[in-house]
């Protein structure tokens, strides 16, 4: 067997997903792109929502996240090759396919994480 490549017999899909969307922004970026293509700066701006208290994402980190998402096949980079630079990012079919999953996550989060005062017993 060629073990040079990723000879993953079968990893837990949950773990694989976790790894794929590891990081603070990947899921949010995917969610942000669900409505259509967005430019680098737009994504960056969109990431600021809900993060007024925290520092904005640095170019280095955003760049890294975008590359990782592209490497995962979730998004696609489109460089217009003009000056000033214009680059758009959009979801691939694969990326679009996981939007419902992100939606489910977001939905659950809104329902159970919106209000921290949830000192609920086990049953």
Partner DNA sequence: CAGCATCCTGCGTGATACTG
Partner DNA sequence: CAGTATCACGCAGGATGCTG
Where along the sequence are the contacts to its own copies (CB under 8 A)?
4, 6, 9-18, 20-21, 24, 27-28, 31, 49-53, 73, 76, 78, 90, 92-94, 97-98, 100-102, 104-114, 116, 118-123
Cβ distance 112 to 60 under 8 Å?
A: no
Beta strands in the chain (DSSP E): 38-39, 75-79, 87-91
Cβ distance 16 to 10 under 8 Å?
A: no
Under rule CB under 7 A, residue 30 binds DNA: no
Q: Which of its own copies, DNA, none does 61 bind, CB closer than 5 to 8 A by kind?
A: DNA
* Rounded distance between C-alpha atoms, residue 57 and residue 61, angstroms: 6
Task: Measure CA 15 to chain center.
Answer: 16
Under rule CB under 7 A, residue 36 binds DNA: no
Which residue number, 78 or 94, has a Cβ lying nearer to DNA? Answer: 78
Per-residue binder mask for DNA (CB under 7 A), 38-77, x = binder: -xxxx-----------xxxxxxxx-xxxxx---------x
Which neighbouring-strand residues pair with 8? Answer: none
Phi, psi at residue 78, to the nearest 5°? -130, 110
Residues that bind DNA (CB under 7 A): 22-25, 39-42, 54-61, 63-67, 77, 79, 84-87
């Amino acid at each position: 067997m060629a073990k040079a490549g990723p000879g993953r017999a079968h990893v837990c899909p949950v773990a694989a997903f976790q790894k794929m969307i590891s990081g603070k922004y990947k899921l949010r970026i995917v969610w942000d792109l669900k409505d259509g293509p967005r430019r680098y700066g737009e994504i960056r701006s969109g990431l600021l929502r809900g993060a007024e208290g925290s520092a904005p994402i640095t170019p280095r980190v955003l760049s890294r996240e975008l590359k990782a998402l592209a490497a995962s096949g979730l998004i696609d980079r489109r460089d217009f090759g003009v000056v000033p630079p214009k680059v758009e990012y959009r979801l691939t079919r694969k990326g679009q396919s996981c939007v419902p999953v992100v939606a489910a996550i977001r939905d659950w989060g809104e329902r159970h994480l919106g209000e921290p005062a949830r000192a609920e017993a086990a049953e």
